[in-house]
Amino acid sequence: MGCFTFVKVMMILFNLFIFLAGGALLGVGIWVSVDGTSFVRVIGPVSSQAMQFVNIGYFCIVIGAILVLLGFLGCCGAQKESKCLLILFFAIVLIIFIAEIAAAVVALVYSSFAESLLRAWVTPILRDDYGRQKDATGIWNTTMSELKCCGFTNYTDFSDSYYFNNNNKTYPPFCCNATICTETAAIQSQIQGCFRQLFDILKENANIVGGIAAGICVLEIAAMAVSMYLYCKIDGKSRV
């Protein structure tokens, strides 16, 4: 078996696995979106908290669809020796790779800028939707309960909010160590905001997060290198 044939077979098998994994993830996402109750019964009580923290159905659908597309392009491109499909596969992986690098740079180097963007997006949700919208309330209740935090920055995110005005001028119980969470109790409790709490957790587990990120980047670089190798070899074969 020549080098070209070996790389081609590995490319097909790898992308077939990606395609099947993406299809399974897509199926789970559709299942959760259509019938989340049965999904919780099968997976268990922990999943109900995860489903509140992240809209896992839509998340799985998006990631699954991307994996299915990549698996299809890589598998068919290698099998049919299609330069068009291979270069399209390369381009999509490259775009994802650049987006990940850009996000990492913004998160690490411009963390204050990223915090400002997130605050501008999250603050209106806490002010207008918390306590009124079931999904938003459930997500934030789970987040604040699991991370032991209050709001995005601190309790002031809920000042003059829908929840505050409709609960006798009190704050969510997560913002206080007292039974009734008044402004005085919130100030004395000094509960940290969820962004800072999450940032501290990420710093504590920087090695794990960095290792996973590095592993993903290596796989993406390898996928691009293999697809470009096949592309160039197919180009050479077509001249012969």
Domains of the chain (ranges; CATH) run 3-111+205-239 (no CATH), 129-199 (1.10.1450)
Q: Dump pLDDT digits (tens) for 165-206.
A: 999 999 999 999 888 899 999 999 989 888 888 777 777 776
Q: Which residues make Cβ contacts (< 8 Å) with residue 164, sequence separation at least 6? A: 158, 170, 171
Handedness of CA 196, 202, 206, 211 (dihedral sign): negative
Q: What percent of the chain has pLDDT over 70?
A: 81
For residue 29, pLDDT beyond 50: yes
For residue 45, pLDDT beyond 70: no
For residue 163, pLDDT beyond 90: yes
Does residue 227 contact residue 11 with C-beta atoms inside 8 Å? yes
| Per-chain mean pLDDT for the chain | 80
Q: What's the token pair of residue 97?
A: 């790779």
The CA distance from 222 to 19, in Å, is 17
Q: What is the DSSP string of 180-210?
A: S--HHHHHHHTPPPHHHHHHHHHHHTHHHHH
**What pLDDT score was predicted for residue 174?**
92
Does residue 64 contact residue 27 with C-beta atoms inside 8 Å? yes
Compute CA distances 40 → 56, 109, 139, 144, 168, whole Å: 12, 39, 16, 21, 35
**What pLDDT score was predicted for residue 49?**
44
